[in-house]
Structure 1
């Protein structure tokens, strides 16, 4: 089994699934894809939103029920995206496991690579020009910590447009 860890920023579309599989055409081994989708903390989102509304003043949200409700909605939406992404790969005959993480995406990726025995990592993101320039993006952070080859792909963009 050739295991591949995939860190995705949002739900895969059909183009993404086809391109991921195309990267491994011709391998004699069975491929196992291990999807990882991070979701943000409701506390961080609410605090950030309130800060933006409050002229830069950070207003902590202390209502536990509101925080818990928002977190449940975030997790539910993330799980839906993750399930749809896994389904696209399964529809193409692939073996897939999928996990949602609320922690640091790179720490979760390192743990996934170790636990799955992945031989390769694919990171799919939207373009983040400033983060990439400053090497604060997921790919740069992961490459500094990984001992396996990694590929960065732009989500929903054909291979030839990524060059």
Structure 2
């Protein structure tokens, strides 16, 4: 019997509750299910630029170029890699704790390109994208889920990390309090 392969694209580490929730989606299948987790590596340069942009200009620093000279970009890159590796390890452990068969990788290419490649490689039957809410990107259909639906030929489910199914069932897909 062939495995039912599910490719997961995650934005951050999944909690044990997230792992159990994802695994529960496939409990009724007769085939064994294998999960393939992809976690994008955060771009160190973008992280530094975003941090610099959040500082008040003028009084706090003379110029962004001067401040960038003091940044050890290699150390930031290593920190990003270490965090991604730790998040992937946590995610695999969370899914495994629910009884799932799982493998995973940190990816450096475009998340949607990596997802499409992995779906093709393992003959994936579906893709699940787990993110924090990104209301503006979702509104303009440039979020990972919208882009994946246009790119790959399998069903794509979008779940919000750290929210159970009941919290996601509202009219704002997981955004409570609006």
1:107-142 deviation line (CA, Å, top 9, x unaligned) = 111111112221100001111111111111110011
Contact kept? 2:18, 2:94, Cα under 8 Å: no
Partner of 2:8: 6
CA contact (8 A) 1:11 1:82 kept: yes
- In the alignment, the residues of structure 1 paired with residue 153 and residue 64 of structure 2 have an alpha-carbon distance, to the nearest angstrom, of 39
Q: Tell me if 1:134 matches 2:136.
A: no
- Quick one: which of 109, 117, 124 aligns to 2:123? 117
CA distance 1:67–1:161, change in 2 (3 Å) = same
Q: What is the CA–CA distance in structure 2 between the aligned matches of 1:30 and 1:75, rounded to whole Å?
A: 32
Does the C-alpha gap of structure 1 residues 58 and 114 become closer, same or farther in structure 2, counting only changes over 3 Å? farther
Contact kept? 2:112, 2:144, Cα under 8 Å: yes
The equivalent position to 1:37 in structure 2, one of 39, 44, 48, is 39
Any idea what SS the aligned residue of 2:80 has?
helix
- TM-score of the superposition, structure 1-length normalised? 0.91
Q: Does the residue aligned with 1:156 lie in a helix, a strand or coil?
A: coil
List gaps (5 residues or longer) in structure 1: none
Which consecutive aligned stretches of 4+ in structure 1 deviate over 2 angstroms post-superposition?
Answer: 47-63
SS at match of 1:93: coil
CA RMSD of aligned residues (A): 2.0
Query: Aligned residues, how many?
Result: 162
* C-alpha contact (below 8 Å) 1:51/1:59 kept by paired residues: no
Distance 1:3 1:55 in 2: 49
1:2-24: CA deviation from partner (whole Å, max 9, x where unpaired): 00000111111122111111110
C-alpha separation between the residues in 2 aligned to 1:14 and 1:158? 12
- Does residue 105 of the first structure (1) align with residue 107 of the second (2)? no
Deviation at 1:39, TM superposition (A): 2.0
So what's the TM-score if we normalise by structure 2?
A: 0.83
